[in-house]
Amino acid sequence: MTSGRAQLLRDMVRIRVVEETLADYYRDEQQMRTPTHFSIGQEATAVGVCAATTSQDLVFTAHRSHAPYLAKGGDLKAMVAELYGKQAGCAHGRGGSIHLVDRAAGFGGSAAILGEMIPVAVGAAWAFARSGRPRAVATFFGDGATEEGVFAESLNLASVHRVPVVFVCENNLYSISSPIGARQPAGSTIQDRAEAAGVTAARVDGNDVFAVYEAAQRALRHCREGNGPYLLELATYRWREHVGPGFDHGQDHGYRPVGETEAWMARCPIVRATEILREQHPDIDRTVAEWSAQYGDEIQRAVVYAKEQPFPDADALLDGAYHPVPR
């Protein structure tokens, strides 16, 4: 099965299997000594946007970075080794889950500070614009980052200079444990704020991978044609806790109602895409099961590889931290 729509589903299945497996290892073994922010339940946002990019486009993300990294073509073995803090990791074991990078795949980097990579992405896109190259940049962040001053500043600069950047807001309704209704004015949207800055924007069902892909194609084409920045507000929902492998709804945690979480789980992007494709591909359920087994084997091999790799040498601890001082 090689259709474009089937590939979107396949990519989501891969990310889901990888992250659920890593969450189990993280919880049970306690060998990954790095904060992890899983995108389980949000796979459609990363897959839909990254599938619309070209090899010449760049992607930057915030702390919830695994899904965009893999969707953009990042090296799985290097990512897993990074989570284990090994020298073979994509950041040589120095960054962990929230500092992934794969320049060869066009994944420019991720960072932990809220909103940190938004201006970095704008700067990279501005460089593309000044060079005259028809390239674009996409930067992922959550709804909480839109309350940072750097978000408004980046929107303004990108709008003034017609920078080819797509701002991708994965609006999952919570900033850690704080619901969006307690943080942002009633009746307002992130799309509204972008448009107020002169940025073209759209709100999309972030759990519909096909809708996300089509919207991302429009947004990236808008940018590459020199029409300035674009913002996509993608409505989605993380299934796991803000950081870590567990769950954060119900009596033990309480800030996310069980009914709310169950309703969003019923809108699983993988299940929805599978149902849409079933009419055209009657054997899609068997195919998804085969993909799950295939990627289960792949992530298990990546974990074995990561565990076999050495930790960074202490003598090289500061390598890359400081530019050599001329003598």
pLDDT at res. 187: 87
Token code pair at residue 274: 């599978």
CA dihedral 135, 140, 144, 147 (to 10 degrees): -10
**pLDDT-derived band of residue 29, with 50, 70 and 90 as boundaries?**
very high
3-state secondary structure of 126: helix
Alpha carbons 167 and 180: distance in angstroms, whole number: 19
312's CB contacts (< 8 A; 6+ apart) are 85, 86, 87, 92, 93, 94
Taking the CA atoms of 205, 211, 214 and 217 in sequence, report the sign of the dihedral they define.
positive
8 Å CB contact between 268 and 13: no
Q: What is the pLDDT of residue 316?
A: 82
Write the DSSP symbol of residue 205: E
Average pLDDT, the chain: 94
pLDDT tens digit sequence for 226-247: 999 999 999 999 999 999 999 8
Q: Is the per-residue pLDDT at 184 higher than 60? A: yes
Is residue 15 pLDDT above 80, yes or no?
A: yes
Which segment of 34-48, 108-122, 311-325 scores lowest on mean pLDDT? 311-325
Please state, in angstroms and rounded to a whole number, the distance separating the CA atoms of residues 242 and 177.
8
Average pLDDT over residues 199-211: 98
Average pLDDT of the segment spanning 46-50: 98
Which residues are CB-neighbours of 238 under 8 A, at least 6 positions away? Answer: 38, 39, 40, 41, 42, 64, 172, 174
Residue 322: its pLDDT value, please?
Answer: 77
What is the reported pLDDT for 324?
A: 63
Token pair 């759990």 in the structure block, residue: 207
Task: Please give the average per-residue pLDDT across 179-197, as a whole number.
Answer: 92
pLDDT tens readout for residues 247-275? 887 756 668 888 999 999 999 999 999 99
- Model pLDDT for residues 123-150, shown as the tens digit of each residue: 999 999 999 889 999 999 999 999 999 9
CA 244 vs CA 8, 40, 194: distances in Å? 26, 11, 31
Sorted by where each starts, the structural domains of the chain and their CATH numbers stand as 1-310 (3.40.50.970)
Residue 31 amino acid letter: Q
Mean predicted confidence (pLDDT) in 159-178: 96
* Residue 236 token pair: 């989605």
Nearby residues of 216 by Cβ (< 8 Å), 6 or more positions away: 48, 49, 51, 52, 53, 138, 166, 168, 232
Determine the average pLDDT of the residues in 94-108.
Answer: 96
Q: Are 72 and 63 in contact (CB under 8 A)?
A: no
